[in-house]
């Protein structure tokens, strides 16, 4: 199975991106194929419906999303919502690239939790006809520091992340099996 991970911050030391790298390590430990798209390293022009010619960075994003069985979207909590760079990236994506695929949403907040951004993210996923993972991951102050191995230091947080990632992988597997059976 192929997973595409999108880091939705353009801040160099973004905790949401460090968290997503940890999710990546858990997926790779299961020998899954992972493509990591970091929007800090892959800047995208502002989306416009008028733009007919796609920037190569946009094309790369769309190719990796279309190729994936499952997606993980990471965002910092900005004013109770997702970051502008992630929303901009998602505006390029259409339902045909996401429909029926599992999507795990993760966030990092300055407050205790980033639930508003996660709700907004899940609403966008629903509008792209993706299948929201029943679990999500939110880190906030007190839980957004990481050890040298990239794992969160907060007690219990690592287990919750591992549980959510495990459920996401299982959902992706079930949807992939269902899609393959329907295609026969």
Report, in Å, the least distance between residue 134 CB and ligand FMN. 23
The angle at the Cα of 47, spanning 105 to 37, to the nearest 5 degrees, equals: 40
What is the distance between the alpha carbons of residues 48 and 92, in angstroms, rounded to a whole number? 9
Report, in Å, the least distance between residue 157 CB and ligand FMN. 14
Report, in Å, the least distance between residue 17 CB and ligand FMN. 6
Closest CB to ligand FMN among residues 110, 178: 110
What is the distance between the alpha carbons of residues 168 and 1, in angstroms, rounded to a whole number? 12
Distance, CA of 25 to chain centre: 14
**In DSSP terms, which residues pair with 73 in a beta bridge?**
6, 105
Closest CB to ligand FMN among residues 24, 69: 24
- Secondary element (H or E) of residue 180: helix 157-183
Report, in Å, the least distance between residue 105 CB and ligand FMN. 14
| CB atoms inside a 10 Å sphere around CB 63 | 13
The 17-56 site mask, x for binding ligand FMN (CB under 6 A), equals: ----------------------------------------
DSSP 39: T
What is the distance between the alpha carbons of residues 141 and 149, in angstroms, rounded to a whole number? 19
Pairing state between β 2-7 and 33-38: parallel
Task: Find the binder of ligand FMN among 3, 4, 5, 15 (CB under 6 A).
Answer: 15
Report, in Å, the least distance between residue 154 CB and ligand FMN. 14
Residue numbers 55-84 binding ligand FMN by CB under 6 A: 76-80
Residue numbers 90-149 binding ligand FMN by CB under 6 A: 108-111, 144
Return residues touching ligand FMN (CB under 6 A): 9, 11, 14-16, 76-80, 108-111, 144
């Amino acid at each position: 199975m192929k997973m595409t991970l999108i880091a939705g911050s353009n801040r160099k030391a973004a905790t949401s991106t460090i968290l997503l790298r940890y999710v990546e390590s858990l997926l790779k430990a299961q020998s899954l194929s992972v493509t990591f798209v970091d929007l800090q390293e892959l800047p995208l022009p502002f989306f416009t419906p008028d733009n007919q010619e796609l920037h190569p960075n946009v094309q790369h994003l769309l190719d990796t999303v279309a190729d994936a069985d499952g997606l993980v979207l990471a965002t910092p909590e900005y004013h109770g919502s997702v970051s502008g760079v992630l929303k901009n990236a998602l505006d390029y994506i259409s339902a045909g690239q996401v429909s029926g695929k599992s999507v795990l949403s993760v966030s990092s907040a300055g407050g205790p939790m980033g639930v508003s951004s996660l709700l907004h993210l899940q609403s966008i996923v629903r509008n792209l006809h993706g299948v929201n993972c029943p679990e999500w991951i939110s880190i906030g102050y007190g839980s957004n520091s990481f050890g040298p191995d990239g794992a969160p230091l907060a007690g219990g947080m690592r287990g919750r992340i591992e549980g959510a990632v495990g459920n996401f992988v299982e959902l992706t597997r079930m949807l992939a099996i269902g899609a393959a059976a329907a295609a026969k």
